[in-house]
């Protein structure tokens, strides 16, 4: 079985696209507008696929922090420094639960938790 994509409902498509393309360096793969009130954008980088869904009729999108999406980075320390230049706050971490993994968390513009992971 192969993971095809992760779907995130967003409150603001433009802010979300800015974050995922300029902060996490994902690329727009496909855009569609199934109705006047809905926009869907698929983003990718390698095998990673992310689907952003904006629906004007959904106003109360809540994320409880129990779910996160993880992305690989070459260096936790370098990525933290990079995020500082983009005024992105570190939510939690960095953590190193074993000698082979370091990670930390940030939030996307919707409050969705993103884990950035270095495999040592």
Domain boundaries, the chain: 1-57, 67-120
Query: How far is CA 60 from its chain centroid?
Result: 19
Cα separation, 49 vs 63, in Å, equals 20
Between 57 and 15, residue with greater pLDDT: 15
Mean pLDDT score, 89-107: 96
Residue 107 to residues 16, 33, 35, 53: CA-CA distances in angstroms? 11, 26, 28, 17
Domain 1-57 identical in fold to domain 67-120:
no
Q: What is the pTM of this model?
A: 0.88
Q: Which CATH class is domain 1-57?
A: alpha beta
State the pLDDT at residue 4: 84
Q: Which CATH class is domain 67-120?
A: alpha beta
pLDDT category of residue 47 using cuts at 50, 70 and 90: confident
């Amino acid at each position: 079985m192969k993971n095809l994509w992760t779907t995130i409902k967003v409150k603001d498509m433009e802010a979300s696209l800015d974050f995922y393309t300029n902060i996490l360096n994902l690329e727009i793969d496909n855009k569609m507008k199934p109705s006047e009130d809905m926009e869907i954008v698929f983003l990718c980088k390698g095998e990673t696929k992310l689907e952003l869904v904006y629906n004007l009729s959904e106003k109360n999108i809540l994320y409880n922090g129990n779910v996160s999406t993880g992305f690989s980075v070459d260096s936790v320390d370098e990525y933290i420094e990079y995020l500082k230049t983009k005024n992105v706050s570190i939510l939690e971490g960095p953590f190193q639960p074993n000698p082979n993994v370091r990670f930390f968390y940030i939030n996307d513009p919707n409050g969705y938790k993103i884990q950035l992971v270095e495999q040592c």
